[in-house]
Amino acid sequence: MEPDLFHQESPKEYKKAIVVGASSGMGKELVKILVKRGYNVGITGRREHLLKELKEGYPGRIFYKAFDIRDLSKTTRSIRDLIKSLEGLDLLVLSSGVGFLNEELDTEPEFQTIYTNVTAFTDIMTFTFRYFLKHPPGHLVGLTSIAALRGNKSAPAYNASKAYQSNYLEGLRQKSKKQKLKITVTDIRPGFVATDMAKGEKLFWAASPEKAAKQIYSAIRRKKGIAYISKRWGLFALLLKIAPRWMYDHF
């Protein structure tokens, strides 16, 4: 029988996690599972009232900091404050991200995607990897996307930014393995998940955020390198990878 990964635990000592981008969607659902599984959790996002609401559901188990990850003067300082409140860190999950359908190729949405998904992502990943170097072991998790695998005519910056994230995480994973560091790096690649972020009319195989979060937690627990969410998207990924360019260009 499959063990129940999600039953309530009362550990002697709580593990410590931060979820960046926990005010809604997959990040928020993952926080609920992490608390049940014996983590104290630091949560972030810009919408402070949503962070406060989540914290109030789990008295004493959640700390929050509201900030915009594009403001580099605040981000690492706020994460450091959360680590202090948690008295250490075992796991950081970066769920914050934006994406825009941008058929007109306006500059602003493209740049906003780069500031959030590339610049801020790099700021958080480098800071946390260096933290785990000094305080091993640690587990670094990024929510990238199946979009990392190919370009997209309607959201060029989004797919390009997700390819950057996946490659960046692969670099960190290789660095950790080569140098025998005690740092695990997991690339979570969701397909469609029914959150505010999922845009467009052609959604299919859309998982609920709750189901997605369960599978993300399972991938974290198993220390997977890459995980497709939901699992069936692994099949789609295979097709995306082998589709020849002449075929993909007409898709």
Q: Which is nearer to ligand NAP, 74 or 133 (CB)?
A: 74
Give residue 60's region: left, alpha or beta (phi > 0; psi -120 to 50): left
Name the minimum Å distance from CB 19 to ligand NAP: 9
Identify the CA nearest to 89 among candidates 24, 28, 22, 20: 20
209 contacts: CB under 8 Å, gap ≥ 6: 25, 26, 28, 29, 193, 194, 195
| Main-chain phi, psi angles of 193, to 5 degrees | -130, 135
Amino acid at 45: G
Name the minimum Å distance from CB 246 to ligand NAP: 26
What is the CB neighbour count within 10 angstroms for residue 122? 14
Among 27, 42, 109, 138, binds ligand NAP (CB under 6 A): 27
Contact letters for ligand NAP, residues 171-210 (x by CB under 6 A): -------------------x-xx-xxxx------------
Name the minimum Å distance from CB 27 to ligand NAP: 5
Q: Per CB under 6 A, which of residues 4..23 are in contact with ligand NAP? A: 21-23
Q: How far apart are CA 1 and CA 45, in angstroms?
A: 38
Name the minimum Å distance from CB 181 to ligand NAP: 25
Q: How far apart are CA 114 and CA 112, in angstroms?
A: 5
Size of the site for ligand NAP (CB under 6 A): 28
Question: Is residue 98 close enough to count as binding ligand NAP by CB under 6 A?
Answer: yes
Name the minimum Å distance from CB 134 to ligand NAP: 25
Among 125, 143, 213, 219, binds ligand NAP (CB under 6 A): 143
Name the minimum Å distance from CB 70 to ligand NAP: 5
Q: How far apart are CA 223 and CA 103, in angstroms?
A: 38
Contact (CB, 8 A) for 121 and 98 = no
Q: Which is nearer to ligand NAP, 204 or 246 (CB)?
A: 204
Contact (CB, 8 A) for 122 and 168 = yes
Q: Which is nearer to ligand NAP, 202 or 245 (CB)?
A: 202
Q: Which is nearer to ligand NAP, 68 or 170 (CB)?
A: 68
Residue-wise over 203-239: b if at least 16 C-beta within 10 A, else e? eeebbebebbbbbbbbbbeeebebbbbbeebeeebee
Q: Per CB under 6 A, which of residues 107..136 are in contact with ligand NAP? A: 116
Q: Per CB under 6 A, which of residues 55..84 are in contact with ligand NAP? A: 68-70
Task: List interacting residues with ligand NAP (CB under 6 A).
Answer: 21-27, 45-47, 68-70, 95-99, 116, 143, 145, 190, 192-193, 195-198
